[in-house]
Structure 1
């Protein structure tokens, strides 16, 4: 197992942040999004969406599937692959 720690930049402008995160993690891990654990088991998705849509400048960082996700309310997110 290697410790890559590579940054990957994404946007979630045309979809919910939760869906975009799962799709991006699936792409990076070469997995089917439906085969990943529900994101809701890691972070409350409804609350995340509400926070990001609040109109405030918000940044949230959490781990999911051995990856560090930092998401911003401006429609951008960064995934650091820690596998």
Structure 2
């Protein structure tokens, strides 16, 4: 499920226990960018997907990870909660 909020954040909660963190990130960013997930650059060019999966093995993880991907700031607070916002640009 992908929900948009008023401040352009997107929260994507995993709906099935077998959903991967990387899949959740790609779905959330493609929704934010209004594009097909296959139109995004490979996530592996930005972050190691195996590392993301290893960092979030259970839904109640206390870890937070953030990075930029496809013009978006991505914050993962647990495998079930991914926030996506426009990436901030330093001028």
TM-score of the pair, normalised by structure 2: 0.74
Shift of the alpha carbon at 1:35? 1.4
Segments of 5+ residues of structure 1 without an aligned counterpart are none
Partner residue of 2:41 out of 12, 37, 60: 37
> Which whole-Å CA distance do the structure 2 matches of 1:74 and 1:28 have between them?
18
User: What is the aligned-residue RMSD (CA, Å)?
Assistant: 2.1
Work out which structure has the larger RCO, using CA pairs closer than 8 Å and 6 or more positions apart in sequence: 1
Check whether the contact 1:53–1:73 (CA below 8 A) recurs between aligned residues: no
Partner residue of 1:81 out of 62, 86, 91: 86
- How many pairs align? 79
**Map 1:3-82 → 2, pairs under 5 A:** 6-14=8-16, 15-53=19-57, 56-73=61-78, 75-82=80-87
Shift of the alpha carbon at 1:8? 1.7
TM-score of the pair, normalised by structure 1: 0.80
